[in-house]
Amino acid sequence: MRIEKIELFHVAMPLISPWRTAYGEDHVIESVLVAMHAQGEVGWGEAGPLATPTYSPEYAAGVFHTMKSWLAPCLIGKDIRTGQELGALLDWVKGNPFAKAGLDMAWWDLSARQAGRPLCTHLGGSSAPISVGADFGICDSIQQLVTSVAGAVAAGFPRVKLKIREGWDLAVVQAVRREFPSLTMHVDCNGGYRLDDRRLFEALDELGLEMIEQPLAHDDLLDHAQLQSALQTPICLDESITGTSKARKAIEIGACRYVNIKPGRVGGMSNAIAIHDLCQDKSIPCWVGSMLESAIGASQCLALGTLPGFTYPADMFTAGVLYAEDIGSPEIGLSAPGTVEPSSLPGIGVRPDPARLAARTLSQASI
Ligand SMILES: [Mg+2]
């Protein structure tokens, strides 16, 4: 299909409650929504690297500039038939996976809408519901966290993820484990520790966690391999896997036994599928992560999560959890306890609500 126009919307979406992790505290989530036009149809994507370069080197205002100045212009007028062709057109720009991903995901949605198919089956996945977990950032007190986890367990979520950082780690995880001895749970360190913290990891290793997510630096593989060799608990890499080549290297050197796949972080849906396939080939289970996207980006993640290698419940925030009013419509809801159903409409089945999009837009560009 020949790409006729690309619109970019740098948006700021205020959270109901602050999201606290090892890398900082977010009150507002910024992302870039992409509308890609061809033959009377519009596909939507979302690049959600956060407002600041704290999760990765990219940030929303920079992604908006990179897309507007460098990436989007080289797609206009091009006849793009596959995700690989789109990737090849963007390949001359080094790095910048989130910026590339926003365009890639808009192309995938456009391609599915033009084929008249839901994105889930268009990607090679299924139309079956996916399993989703409950995630908890750093809270004001351990008691507050234990009460929230109890709510998630009662609501039927199949697993729980706890964000940890220095000062909010071992005692917190031990307290939750005491209350819920058989709960499937894991911790996410967001790169907040070093190899010197070996004693903490040995103590966590005793708590029957499903995995320890991204314990060490965001760009590291070697130290993770060394730590993994000393632990029974699988290490899961998130921030470190920025593309297919990084995934291959991580698996080859034994840096992880789980992979968190976020289409934004790995450069888009085509790379996400390639990493999923690689993990399946190497018997590494994977699961879909979240960048706290609107329902636009979350629907892309939901479609991806229907592929067969995603065996651990996804990070997925449904309507009313993050945002009082989601930009995307319809919002995503639970179809059963701990379960979300992909849309049966063509593409992702979600579009921005025009009034909410206008109210949340900081900058806009048309290429
Ligand atoms: Mg993570």
Nearest Cα to 302, choosing from 331, 337, 267? 331
pLDDT of res. 9? 98
What is the DSSP-derived secondary structure letter of residue 51?
S
All domains in the chain, ordered by first residue:
5-116+352-366 (3.30.390.10), 121-351 (3.20.20.120)
User: Average pLDDT in the 215-238 region?
Assistant: 98
The answer to whether 231 touches 261, Cβ cutoff 8 Å, is no
What is the DSSP-derived secondary structure letter of residue 256?
-
Taking the centre of ligand 1 as the mean of its atom positions, its distance from the CA of residue 136, in whole angstroms, is 12
Give exposure, 184-209, as e/b (b: 16+ Cβ within 10 Å): bbbbbbbbbbebebeebbeebeebeb
Q: Rounded CA gap, 68 and 87, in Å? A: 17
Chain mean position to CA 256: 18
What distance separates the 2 farthest-apart alpha carbons in the chain? Answer: 60
Q: Rounded CA gap, 215 and 154, in Å? A: 29
Tell me the pLDDT tens digit for each residue of 123-132: 999 999 999 9
- Number of residues that this document lists for the chain: 367
Catalytic residues: 163, 262
Taking the centre of ligand 1 as the mean of its atom positions, its distance from the CA of residue 239, in whole angstroms, is 7
User: Average pLDDT in the 9-27 region?
Assistant: 95
Taking the centre of ligand 1 as the mean of its atom positions, its distance from the CA of residue 191, in whole angstroms, is 9
Tell me the pLDDT tens digit for each residue of 189-198: 999 999 999 9
- Would you call 27 helix, strand, or coil by DSSP? strand
Site of tokens 């560009």 = 365
Residue 329, Cβ density class (10 Å: 0-12 exposed, 13-18 middle, ≥19 buried)? middle
Our CA angle for 98, 104, 106, nearest 5°, is 105
Taking the centre of ligand 1 as the mean of its atom positions, its distance from the CA of residue 261, in whole angstroms, is 10
- Of the pLDDT bands very low, low, confident and very high (cuts 50, 70, 90), residue 73 is very high
